[in-house]
Amino acid sequence: LQRCVQLLLLPIHVLACLGLWDSFYKKVFPYIMARVAPIYNHKVYKQKRELFSNLRKFAGPSGQLALLEIGTGTGTNFQFYPPGCRLTCTDPNPNFRKFLLKSLSENQHLKLEHLVVASGEELHQIPDGTVDVVVCTLVLCSVTNIKKVLTEVLRVLRLGGAFYFLEHVAADHSSWTYFWQKVCDPVWKYFGDGCSLSRETQEELEKTNFSELKLRHIHVTPHWIPASPHIIGYAVK
């Protein structure tokens, strides 16, 4: 089945090899996410509200929270951040900028300090140990190297800071969901801007040198879609 899907995707694969698909889709993808992200946010509103409810406890000595979001996209998490939050936004796709600025104008309780065009693997513009909290939602599924991203997270976090995550992940390998994840992966990667349905993100988090990891599994409706299995939680440096 996966081979059949790959065969159907052959024209897109040719465009990708010629370097034409990526440049085209990176312009289109922000418009798609501007429509899809609010729908997804509605589905996980309670989970996100609960997840981000204790952000303030990681604020630095000044009382202000220095927060870095990796893969900010359209800014759908802004509504969950506490007032006065000092925000640094990063995303490798500059075409998200106008959507992100629109979200900021609707969330004036936040203070934008930096807007950086960078991937999660290359956060060299952020100094060591200067961030209280790093947030990453639906991003680790599409990065090139999860280990490198988590290494950067540890580098920029101050001691005692926290990494918050919400990611869709691989299902149990004996399940039909995992079967369909593997079948759909080729399509999902092209139309999800590199997103993989079968990432073992929990294993990478467990291998990273965090002092504490609080993680739980949830399913996002509808349960039959291959992206339904999620992990949610935070890890402390």
23: domain CATH number is 3.40.50.150
Length of the chain: 237
Are 200 and 172 in contact by the 8 Å Cβ rule? The answer is: no
> What pLDDT is recorded for position 38?
94
pLDDT tens per residue across span 47-77: 999 999 999 999 988 888 999 999 999 999 9
- Measured CA to CA in angstroms, residue 78 lies from 72, 130, 148, 193, 224 at distances of 9, 20, 25, 22, 29
- Nearest to residue 104, comparing CAs of 84, 75, 83? 75
List of the chain residues with pLDDT < 70: none
Q: 157 and 129 in contact (C-beta within 8 Å)? A: yes
In angstroms, rounded to a whole number, what is the distance separating the alpha carbons of residues 131 and 139? Answer: 19
Q: How many domains does the chain have?
A: 1
Segments forming the whole domain that contains residue 230: 1-236
Question: What's the confidence (pLDDT) of residue 16?
Answer: 87
Peptide bond into 61 cis (omega under 30): no
Asked whether the beta carbons of 206 and 231 are under 8 A apart, the reply is no
At residue 3, the pLDDT reads 86
